[in-house]
Structures are given as structure tokens and as C-alpha cells.
């Protein structure tokens, strides 16, 4: 089992965080993303899309990600 990241709750001005596995299981979450299944699904879809792009761009296969981060900016 992977070690969950430490200190995510200490990031300045963050509204929440979400840690998921490739089966869309939520491993850790807080704040506005607490147990947000839709956000988990979107995050996994984003990772799958990036993997597909990387495979198409040079023909090699990338099966493992150590980390991918995303920032969502919401407008009023």
C-alpha cells in the first residue's frame, strides 16, 4: 500500500484535497473535495488522458505516475 502524502492540509489557501487510486477509490480527502466521487472520477480520467497522449507522442508505454497535480481556479 502506498504511503499517503503528508502535509496536504498545510498548503496555504487550499480549500481541500483529494488522493485517489486508478480505480477511483478515494484514499484521502478533505475540505470541499471531501469524498467527492465526481472529482475522483475526473482526476482519474485526466491521468488516463495524459497517459494516452504520452503513449501516442513517442510510442513508448508509461504505466506509472508518481504524482500529478492540478489546480482548479473557480470564478464567481
Kindly state whether residue 52 falls inside one of the protein's structural domains: yes
Kindly state whether residue 63 falls inside one of the protein's structural domains: no
pLDDT value of position 55: 73
Q: Give the contacts of 40 (CB within 8 A, at least 6 positions apart).
A: 18, 20, 24, 25, 26
Q: What are the pLDDT tens digits along the chain (76 aa)? A: 456 667 877 888 888 888 898 899 999 998 989 999 999 999 899 888 888 777 766 667 666 666 777 776 666 6
Q: Judge whether 68 and 46 are in contact, CB under 8 Å.
A: yes
Kindly state whether residue 5 falls inside one of the protein's structural domains: no
Q: Give the contacts of 48 (CB within 8 A, at least 6 positions apart).
A: none
Kindly state whether residue 31 falls inside one of the protein's structural domains: yes
Beta-bridge partner residues of 30: 17
Kindly state whether residue 74 falls inside one of the protein's structural domains: no
Q: Where in the sequence is the domain holding 32, given as residue range(s)?
A: 16-58
Q: How many domains does the chain have?
A: 1
pTM: 0.69
Amino acid at each position: 500500500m502506498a504511503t499517503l502524502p503528508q502535509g496536504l492540509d498545510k498548503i496555504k489557501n487550499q480549500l481541500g484535497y483529494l488522493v485517489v487510486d486508478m480505480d477511483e477509490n478515494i484514499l484521502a480527502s478533505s475540505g470541499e473535495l471531501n469524498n467527492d466521487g465526481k472529482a475522483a472520477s475526473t482526476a482519474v480520467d485526466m491521468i488516463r488522458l495524459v497517459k494516452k497522449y504520452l503513449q501516442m507522442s513517442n510510442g513508448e508505454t508509461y504505466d506509472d505516475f508518481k504524482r500529478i497535480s492540478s489546480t482548479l481556479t473557480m470564478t464567481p
